[in-house]
Amino acid sequence: MFGQLLSKAAVPVGVVGIILLLIVPIPTALLDVLIVLNITFALLILLTAMFVKKPLDFSVFPSLLLVATLFRLGLNVASTRLILSEAHAGQVIQAFGQITISGSLVIGAVIFLILTVIQFVVVTKGAERVAEVGARFTLDAMPGKQMAIDADLNAGLITDVEARRRRADVAAEADFYGAMDGASKFVKGDAIAGIVIVVINFAGGIVIGMAQHGMDIAAALQTYSLLTIGDGLVTQIPALLMAVSTGMIVTRENAEAEIGQAAGRQLLQSRNALLITGFAAMGMGLIPGMPLPAFLAIGSVLLFAASRVRAGRLRDAADQARAEAEAAGDIAAEGPDELMDRMRVHALEISLSPDIVDLASGGQGDLLARVKSLRRKIAVDIGLMMPPVRTRDNVELPAETYAILIAGVEAGRGTVPRGCVLAIGAELDRLPGTAVTDPVFGLEGKWVPAEMSHAADMAGATVIDRASVIVTHLSDLVQAQAHRLLSLEDVRRLTEHLRQTDPGVVEELTPAVLPLAAIQQVLAGLLAERVPINDLGRIYEALALRARASAETSGLIEAARAALGPAIAAPFARAGRLRVVMFDPLLEQQMLEGLRVVDGQSQIVLAPEATMQLLDAVRRTVAELDPVGPEPVLVCAPSLRPSVRRLVSSQVRGLPVLSYDEAAAGGFATDVVGVVRLAPTALPAAH
């Protein structure tokens, strides 16, 4: 309890004390304690900045920087008051001045000026510029990061809680870099103030020493130069530490290791670089006049480090060979059951080229965990129990390539280069990498090195890791091919689960009225038109009523759609509005006149030329729509809907076809964004 109270009151009490420090004179003994506290506090901040893994772990840094700057200025005022009034400012300032001067006023002045130049021109100026650029790029990249979070959420890679946490992190990062941009101005102002105070102490001290204390010019120069340099050092050293901390914070990227670990791992990753540097150091030691022992010692250390890198690589290669041998032994020992399992055609499969199997090893990317999350999302969104996904390597695939198979047939493939991330955006020309087209959304992107992901973020691009690319592609294919993935066993499990909550509905429908195979055809037909089947009870009720009159599949599907009502149009609405494409009334009337029942299914029978012109008009109308906004839907008369859907589905992939009743069932307002028209002479009906 006392500790919590102390932590809450420490900063407010400290700020009040700093304000009093600016006004009230303090004794030299207290000044010594505060100077030591100032140096220690600056060192603590520097070490904390070195050991954090990402800048947001030290989000209070801008506020601490302001408090520390105000503290140093308060100490400057207190020490200046003592220097000018008493020609003495405590033991710490005296000791710093004597050590720096070392018997020579010129040497002391030069060392102090060098420290001032380093702090002001090099560190402070660089940190200020990096903070300014980081703040601007972070704000520019916010929309892209938000889009990436939404994409992961929609693909089922993250939960709502994780999405909220990531959005909060993005907002916190923008606030942090904005605060750092302003806080870096404190560091610059502090450096300028330190230089001005040094000039005042030196010039004013000499004048006061000669006028008030009766010193001659030599004594005044000696006394006040020592005090001025000492005071400047006890101020500039903490200021330099704070400036270095600022630069270290704003130049850090989010990482999973501290800066020391990351630097050691990355500097020792190249054996050739260590060897060349070691031999170069030894070679420089042979130059006449060079200290040969020092160069030999440094070169030997570098060569030893290179040998350790080689030994580590050989050990890793041996471990990998041992694992491959064990896997080969397991394959050789496979029995009939294992071989039959390998022969079985899996409903879903991800094949990876051997060089990217690390994605499925539970390490980089965590592909398997993301597939598990995708299964949960698919089940919640569309009611399909997504089959288990088999992941295996395939030596026949090109390097860095994956393929997604549905029922043993390849449905899509793409590339995921090692050590790269996919950046999707318009301003990627300045980034190195390979230009590609996103396999799901058809957007232009570029595979850039993983270490350039921060630069891609700064350029406003959406950055996607390799595993997310594969899972997003898998999600798109599963939703598009959901009707093929729904098995009879899935329908049986869904029915048994429904029996636990609505036994009457199940007993009314199956097996007396409809067998499970017929129900599977209906549910697959709904999934083929991207209609979720989560509301299974309502669907079964509609099927039970319709099946007593007719068990024809298309009629059952329309009955189920009518029962679902608003759920049909809801996925395509945004803010209570639907973007619809309609047929010209005259065209729709002529299509109704050409409606025929062929082999138990209704079809629009037109002349071949008219059919081709109709399909071309639909394609052209949809292609001309503004891509910004919710997905458009094609609406038509209820009796035409099944025929129109079969007619256009093969021509315009994924275009939803709704009846007027379905579009109006949810009470959504409609925005007509396109009308399909033909020339008046183009539609003679075929007889």
CB neighbourhood size of 668 (10 A)? 19
Distances (CA, A) of 473 to 152, 155, 300, 438, 521: 12, 9, 51, 9, 26
Q: Give CA–CA dist 536/568, Å, rounded.
A: 14
Cis peptide before 630 (omega within 30 of 0): no
Q: Give CA–CA dist 125/411, Å, rounded.
A: 55
Average pLDDT over residues 405-412: 89
Cis peptide before 503 (omega within 30 of 0): no
What is the 3-state secondary structure of 354-395? HHHHHHHCCCCCCHHHHHHHHHHHHHHHHCCCCCCEEEEECC
CB neighbourhood size of 504 (10 A)? 11
Average pLDDT over residues 356-369: 72
pLDDT tens sequence across 154-172: 666 677 777 788 777 777 7
Average pLDDT over residues 53-60: 74
Sole residue written with tokens 């109308």:
621
pLDDT-based confidence at residue 622 (cuts at 50, 70, 90): confident
Mean of the per-residue pLDDT values of the chain: 78
Q: Give CA–CA dist 404/390, Å, rounded.
A: 10
Whole-number pLDDT of residue 540: 93
The larger pLDDT score, comparing residue 675 to residue 327, is at 675
* Tokens (6 digits) for 331: 């394959």
Average pLDDT over residues 542-559: 89
Triad 198, 202, 203: Cα angle to 5° = 115
Question: Do residues 389 and 474 touch, judged by C-beta distance below 8 A?
Answer: yes
pLDDT tens sequence across 179-236: 776 666 666 676 677 677 777 766 776 777 666 666 767 777 667 677 777 777 777 7
Q: Give CA–CA dist 200/192, Å, rounded.
A: 13
pLDDT-based confidence at residue 125 (cuts at 50, 70, 90): low
Q: Give CA–CA dist 648/634, Å, rounded.
A: 10
- Name the residue among 406, 387, 395, 389 with its Cα closest to residue 352: 395
Q: Give CA–CA dist 565/173, Å, rounded.
A: 44
Whole-number pLDDT of residue 685: 47
User: What is the pTM (predicted TM-score) of this model?
Assistant: 0.54
507: which residues sit within 8 A by CB, 6+ positions away? 499
Q: Give CA–CA dist 304/302, Å, rounded.
A: 5
pLDDT-based confidence at residue 307 (cuts at 50, 70, 90): confident
pLDDT-based confidence at residue 355 (cuts at 50, 70, 90): confident
| Per-position b or e across 607-629, b if 16+ CB within 10 A of its CB | eeebbebbbebbeebbeeeeeee
Whether residue 629 is predicted with pLDDT greater than 70 in this model: the reply is yes
Q: What is the DSSP letter of 606?
A: B
Whether residue 480 is predicted with pLDDT greater than 50 in this model: the reply is yes
pLDDT-based confidence at residue 135 (cuts at 50, 70, 90): low
Radius of gyration of the chain (CA): 37
The larger pLDDT score, comparing residue 89 to residue 455, is at 455
* Tokens (6 digits) for 17: 């004390």
Whether residue 449 is predicted with pLDDT greater than 80 in this model: the reply is yes
pLDDT tens sequence across 251-301: 665 555 555 566 556 666 677 777 788 778 778 877 777 777 877 887 787
